Structure 1
């Protein structure tokens, strides 16, 4: 697949739209609802079997995905703000809720993600925060962005989960 160049065209979900997708335990897409397929700009056949990272916007700080994968590997749930990139290079922001499905022995079968439009309040904070995290990551690696994020959370007196939740409500 050709490398996609990001552009400044933003797409937005309406308040009543939900993107739903499922991936296998390794993050390969096994299901996407019609809204997911439409906003991504890919056909269903272009998405199925591909890593979900096909949608990763290059501006996204890696630390956010580290948080996500750490939580998923611990068989937990996470909410995270994510900037995704469409097939045409445009982008869209979502609040993603990622959960795991376990078999009877406690092994991860798949990941289920439901994404919604982020609140206006969160969009006043998250894009700038992610720019800061990304810039620090570029110069000091993911450890530097994790340290910055932890410092910000400590200053706010909030856990990561509380921070995300409070921005959405």
Structure 2
């Protein structure tokens, strides 16, 4: 992981509006598949990514509570949408809208892993989550993840939204965006 001082000089990687970033993991989050665009953007080779924990790209600006919520949902076999700041091998970063979903064995129907479908996050969504994520990280550093989770749920109550509605509204998850994720999901079933 890059040192914090190195990250201060990092720059944002501009993502394609049409190319998806895809990965599949096992049930523990170990990468089993990654597409070429994921390799290109992350700066890691396929050999470096396959077998690595997916948190190899976790940016320290991301609140732990978002991943806590993600794992809780996935373990209940529920999909989750999130705006995520990822870290490349070079120390640069990129913002994505990510749909995480459980994938099932075709015959036994037992969960066998997770699919992460990503596309460039809308600028307005990034602008909206930056102050929220900064506050959540600050709370986690001072009071822990439980306090951060309390803050997040209070924030959502003030918005009169649950997490899913908040995220879908933020990324305008309808029309083309919804069709994009639905289409990608069907391709990787």
TM-score (norm 2): 0.85
Give 5+ residue unaligned stretches, structure 1: none
Equivalent residue pairs, number: 167
Shift of 1:124: 1.6
Is 1:116 paired with 2:119? yes
**Per-residue Cα deviation, 1:83-134 (whole angstroms, up to 9, x for no partner):** 1100011111111101111235553201011001111220121111100100
Of the structure 1 ranges 9-18 and 31-40, higher mean CA displacement relative to structure 2 is found in 9-18
Matching residue of 2:148: 145
| Greater helix share, structure number | 2
Structure 2: unaligned runs, 5 residues or longer: 173-189
> 96, 99, 121: which one pairs with 2:98?
96
Write out per-residue CA displacement over residues 60-82 of structure 1, whole angstroms, 9 at most, x where no aligned residue.
10000011000100011000111
Identify the structure with bigger relative contact order (alpha carbons < 8 Å, sequence gap 6+): 1
1:160 equivalent in alignment to 2:158 = no
CA shift at 1:145, angstroms?
Answer: 0.7
C-alpha RMSD over aligned residues = 1.1
Corresponding residue number in structure 2 for 1:24: 26
TM-score normalised to the size of structure 1? Answer: 0.95
Q: In 2, Cα distance between the equivalents of 1:4 and 1:120?
A: 25
CA distance in 1, matches of 2:65, 2:89: 24
Corresponding position of 2:16: 14
